[in-house]
Amino acid sequence: MTTAITDLSISEVNKLISSLGAPSYRAKQLLSWVYQRLVISFDEMTDLPVSFRQKLAEQTKLYTLTLVHEVSAKDGTVKVLFSLDDGKTVEAALMRSLANDGKHRYTVCISTQVGCPIGCPFCATGQQGFERNLTPGEIIDQVLYFARQLQGRSNGREGERISNLVFMGMGEPLANYDAFWRAIQILNSPDGFGLSARSMTISTTGLLPQIKRLSREKLQVGLAISLHASDNTLRNKLVPVNKKYPLEELIPTCRDYFEKTGRRVSFEYVLFEGINDSLSQAQSLAELIHGLNCHVNLISANSTTNQTFRPSPRDKVLAFQKELQNRGINCTLRQSRGQEIDAGCGQLRSRFASDKSRQPKR
């Protein structure tokens, strides 16, 4: 199978260049074309000898993803479905927001697995089951796709760049630790994509051994815990991995993570009507995380055909937020984005899975 450049670490690219008999400085040139100039063919690498480009084309490839479908929402969210070399599909999304300085901020939401092994009942991806892990290149290429868009290769918005990456798409990132961490290292490297580690956030349902491993890493990435409940009985239902790593183990691990890294933990809490949105549950949540240097992101659930998990009414969302704030918890309300384009994790993939007539765009 042909090797993708984006599957190779920086040191492996150097070894590749050496194996092809080229001088070492060609590695930096190649990496620049891939990660900075964002080319999609070896022919565009005009400062590389033609014979060298031919060797590269024979032994490697530049991208691992094929566009299946792309759709945009009124709020600027772009949702994309990609096909992989084996025909499996994954989603990624680009979200636009306005920063305090008046400039647009662009966040890419990345998938790390095909499907997901956790099985959260409210999540479309969780109901698809787990198929396989993504490679580092398949993770990175989601980022490069949107970087090309913002660069102006496909929509003319020249000069705009990706501001942040969130590993909150399909899959549990920490269950594919080695591949996603290699992707982060390449995306962070000055010889790679060059994005600050502080601009990257990893979302997990709470895999404790991997959180502990993450606390020993040098890069200053953010950590977000998908919490969604403040007691084990409810969280066992909403986030089944809680049965293995319950709250009385998860919260101390988060405290230890902060002590080791100095980085504040975020808790994601999606509000579902009549399930986890009462004031008593807000009070219980405040007690659970009291004294922990953390931030709570309250999220309005996406509207779906699943009537069990309906979005909380706005007045209950605001009351929940106020109760947390009154109890000294730092929290913000994050609006769901791109609802009219199936922007919730796994929704677009689910819709396309039932329509075999749709073919990837090559």
Identify the H or E element spanning 236.
helix 232-238
Report whether 249 contacts 208 (CB < 8 A).
Answer: yes
> Measured between alpha carbons, how far is residue 256 from residues 25, 235, 252 in Å?
43, 21, 6
Interatomic CA distance for residues 89 and 114, integer angstroms: 7
Nearest of 200, 147, 172, 140 to residue 7 by alpha carbon = 140
Which residue is catalytic, options 44, 70, 91, 268? 91
**Residue written as token pair 């033609």:** 50
Interatomic CA distance for residues 181 and 217, integer angstroms: 10
Q: CA angle at residue 297 from 110 to 325, to 5 degrees?
A: 170
Interatomic CA distance for residues 189 and 205, integer angstroms: 27
Region of 102 (left: φ > 0; alpha: ψ -120 to 50; beta: rest) is left
Q: CA angle at residue 65 from 59 to 66, to 5 degrees?
A: 115
Interatomic CA distance for residues 359 and 128, integer angstroms: 20
Nearest of 325, 332, 340, 273 to residue 301 by alpha carbon = 273
- How big, in percent rounded to 5, are the helix, strand and coil portions of the chain? 40, 20, 40
> Measured between alpha carbons, how far is residue 41 from residues 61, 238, 247, 310 in Å?
9, 44, 49, 46
- 91 catalytically annotated: yes
- 345 catalytically annotated: yes
Question: Which two three-digit tokens encode residue 293?
Answer: 């240097």
> Measured between alpha carbons, how far is residue 157 from residues 147, 218, 343 in Å?
11, 34, 22
Rg (CA), the chain: 21
Interatomic CA distance for residues 246 and 248, integer angstroms: 6
Active-site residue set: 91, 345
